[in-house]
Structure 1
Amino acid sequence: MDVTNTEAVNAFVDDITEAWGGVDVLVNNAGQGKGGSLDSLTPEDILDHANVLQMGHFRFVKAVVPHMRKQRWGRIIEINALAGTIPTPSGIPSVINRASCVALSKSLGMSLPKDNILVNSLNMGWIDTGQWERHFQEMGPGVTREEFNEMVLKVVPLGRFGKPEDVAGMALFLASDYASFISGASIDIAGGMGGQIAYFPTLKSDFAESIKAKRKDS
């Protein structure tokens, strides 16, 4: 559904609560990567991106919280990105809009527990979804997937991509009564990657340059 449309979000949540008698868990998973630098971006580029991330997440929280307050039980899990907690030197829209989402999660994680609504953020590192295939295709010809993966995973201490199950397992835990005293937490699902993420843009550009040189020589 279109998370940038407030009326559509409200109607969707109303349909869910009517069908199921309430809403217990919200996993705010709307996301969109967007690169760009100070020289290439306009303010409108960042605002468009914010409408998906910051406002998309906010719209859904605003729609579900009244229902959760009625039943005095709710769990909100914000799917965010490591770039929101550790800025990188490129990709300004993703950096600042993800940071805003993490801040929203922490703020709500402090204000909503009085209603027994707990809010936590899961910050993604390199999770093996379709986006990595897209990033690989952007490299163009002359690059094998093995070479690409080796470059990408140099900044991941665990040495592999995360799996969707790695995220789902933590989301299930936070949605359960086992996590009844956790709110406002910011949890990185990144295989040990932290500050290393800041080196990735340079690593990627160096890799791209080496591939260009390799093509030229061949």
Structure 2
Amino acid sequence: MMRLRRPILATLALLFALCSHSQALTLNIRDAANGDPVPHAVVSLPASGPASPLASPAVMAQENRTFEPHLLVIPAGSMVEFPNHDNTQHHVYSFSPAKTFNIELYAKRPEAPVTFDTAGVVELGCNIHDNMQAFIYVTDAAQTVTTGPDGVARIEPPTAAPVTVKVWHERLRDNSQPVTLTIPASGEEPRVISLDLTPKKVEADPFADLQRRFDNL
């Protein structure tokens, strides 16, 4: 009888560990003004531990006088390359505290990638084309996800207790940093998070077609 107790206790401990681990949470990110889903919102779970840098450089390209992608999410310590696929030169820079850098006027590809070793939001611009803008979100959390077109993100918190998350979107009133929120342990799924956002920008560039034709000469 004594011989059976240890396997039983071990099985009970395993079942307790499995039950105590919380299941994935579905977060529904919405615009507080109109209730619309918010795509491209970044949700990170600080409690998930540190993130490992990418093994190879990520890419933030310039194409058709835009940055591609518009939003790049990378772990802290990762490198990013900035290839120029346009027929015109670009001058990429950032004044953000998380990473200040300046790649002066260049074509094709800079000599070396840029290392982003501090967590935070990095806003990119081009000193030649004022309409060019992009963001690099540098995360120090192992679990960081981005919402899709439906504004939905899923995270896996380590416990069933209230969960602290960081949420960022470029249209936040202060988009230089994420907002920190606490998600209750109980409640209906999905959890709805309403963000106070600025209105969407209306893109207008009357010289875009003329510039493209000039670039293709």
Same-fold call, TM > 0.5?
no
TM-score by length of 1: 0.29
Which has the bigger relative contact order, CA under 8 A and spacing at least 6? 2
Q: Which has the higher strand share?
A: 2
Q: Which has the higher helix share?
A: 1
Name the larger-Rg structure: 2
